[in-house]
């Protein structure tokens, strides 16, 4: 029986593959930011005339803030900058559908390729 030798990809096409992967990763990280889908729920909860007590800081926290040169007014935006977690159900369902579709395609393509390799190595079996 002949030893299986997988097909080889041209070196230039390997660079194309790497370039595509880099662009895909960059797009996956950058596009949600551009569309406002990442960090969109971040907001500052305003407090008029902030004090350390209103900001929820204890004596130890206040001493550290003051050592860093902050006052209640200057630390307000840092302390009150919070994420508000709201779930957009349509986007969640759409993302789940995309991921499930991707894995179905991945398993289908892998099964097809696996069957081709087995057929090449051992024959059709018919």
Supply the pLDDT for residue 1. 60
**pTM of structure:** 0.43
Q: What are phi and psi of 4, to 5 degrees?
A: -70, 130
Q: What are phi and psi of 82, to 5 degrees?
A: -130, 160
Supply the pLDDT for residue 109. 92
Query: d(Cα 48, Cα 80) in Å, to the nearest integer?
Result: 12
pLDDT at 10 over 80: yes
Supply the pLDDT for residue 86. 77
DSSP state of 81: E
Nearest Cα to 47, choosing from 81, 18, 91, 95? Answer: 81
pLDDT, tens digit, 9 for 90 and up, residues 23-46: 999 999 998 888 877 765 667 778
Residues 6+ apart with CB under 8 A from 69: none
pLDDT, tens digit, 9 for 90 and up, residues 87-123: 889 989 999 999 999 999 999 999 988 888 888 878 7
Nearest Cα to 3, choosing from 126, 125, 117? Answer: 117
Query: d(Cα 36, Cα 39) in Å, to the nearest integer?
Result: 7
- In this structure, how many other beta carbons lie within 10 angstroms of the beta carbon of residue 64? 11
Supply the pLDDT for residue 97. 97
Instruction: Please give the average per-residue pLDDT across 67-72, as a whole number.
Output: 95
């Amino acid at each position: 029986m002949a030893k299986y030798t997988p097909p080889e990809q041209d070196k230039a096409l390997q660079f194309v593959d790497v370039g595509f992967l880099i662009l895909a990763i960059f797009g996956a990280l950058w596009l949600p930011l551009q569309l406002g889908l990442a960090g969109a729920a971040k907001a500052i909860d305003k407090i008029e005339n902030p004090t350390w007590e209103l900001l929820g800081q204890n004596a130890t926290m206040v001493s550290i803030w003051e050592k860093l040169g902050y006052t209640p007014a200057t630390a307000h935006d840092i302390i009150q900058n919070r994420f508000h977690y709201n779930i957009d159900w349509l986007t969640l369902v759409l993302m789940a559908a995309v991921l499930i579709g991707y894995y179905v395609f991945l398993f289908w393509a892998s099964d097809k390729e696996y069957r081709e390799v087995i057929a090449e190595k051992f024959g059709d079996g018919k």
